[in-house]
Structure formats: C-alpha cells, structure tokens
C-alpha cells in the first residue's frame, strides 16, 4: 500500500538543549522524509537557536545533534525556513546560523502554513 505524499510542516519554537523537543522534532523530520513525505521545517521564536553555529555539548555530556541539520538536504528535506522577526528580536542574522536557510517574514510564513496538509509544532 502506498500512502499519498503529503505536505508536512514541522515548526520548531523551543531552544535546543533545555528540553527534548528540538531533538524529537528533528527525528520526526527525518522519519517523515524517509517515508517520502514533502517535509518543510520552520524555525521561529526560540526555535531559531536550534540553528546557532558553534554549539558544543561536551560539558553537558549530551548529544550534539546540531550537525544533523546540515544533513537534512541529503534526506531530501530542501525547505528550511527561518522567521526574520524571530532572528531580529534575538540579535541574530543569517551569518549566525550553521547552514544556509530561507529567511522569511511572519506574513510569508503565514501563507506557507496555509499551503500544508499537516502542521506539527513544538
């Protein structure tokens, strides 16, 4: 049986190491993509910190999963969206992020959301 390919948006709003949300969300992205779904990934509010360069979790003795975001392209996840307003509020720019992304306004993001079959957020 072949399931229909759906447009799935995964929205990240939590920072990376204080809770399990960011890592679990990344797992969802990888699994959904492995099953052939059309996945886009959004980072907004404190979720933009998930893409901060130079993350080093050695002192926490936890997994540094930040390098996995760079592998998303190999998993056919081509759409990575970061909200401009969220970056600005946090004093960040594209240069602070660990990979190239599409930076969009809240208004543009609102439009992209309406085009999805399913939205998962954390």
Cα–chain center distance at 33: 13
* Contact pick of 13, 39, 49, 69 for another protein (by CB under 8 A): 13
Note the helical H segments in 1-122. Answer: 21-34, 66-69, 84-89, 106-114
The secondary element (H helix, E strand) that includes residue 38 is: strand 38-43
Q: Are 86 and 120 in contact (CB under 8 A)?
A: no
Q: Residue 67 Cβ, how far from another protein at the closest point, in Å?
A: 26
Q: Provide the CB-side half-sphere exposure for 85 (13 A, CA).
A: 9
Asked if 20 touches another protein (CB under 8 A), the answer is: no
Looking at residues 37 to 96 of the shown chain, list those that interact with another protein (rule: CB under 8 A): 44-45, 85
92 vs 99, beta carbon nearer another protein: 92
Q: Residue 121 Cβ, how far from another protein at the closest point, in Å?
A: 6
Q: Which residues bind another protein (CB under 8 A)?
A: 11, 13, 44-45, 85, 106-107, 109-111, 113-114, 116-119, 121-122
């Amino acid at each position: 049986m072949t399931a229909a390919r759906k447009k799935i948006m995964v929205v990240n709003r939590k920072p990376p190491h204080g809770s399990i949300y960011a890592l679990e969300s990344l797992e969802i992205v990888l699994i959904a993509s492995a099953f052939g779904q059309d996945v886009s990934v959004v980072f907004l509010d404190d979720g933009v910190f998930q893409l901060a360069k130079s993350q080093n979790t050695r002192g926490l003795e936890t997994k540094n999963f930040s390098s996995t975001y760079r592998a998303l392209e190999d998993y056919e996840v081509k759409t990575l969206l970061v909200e401009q307003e969220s970056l600005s509020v946090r004093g960040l720019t594209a240069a602070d992020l660990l990979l190239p992304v599409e930076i969009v306004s809240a208004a543009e993001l609102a439009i992209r959301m309406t085009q999805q079959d399913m939205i998962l957020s954390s």
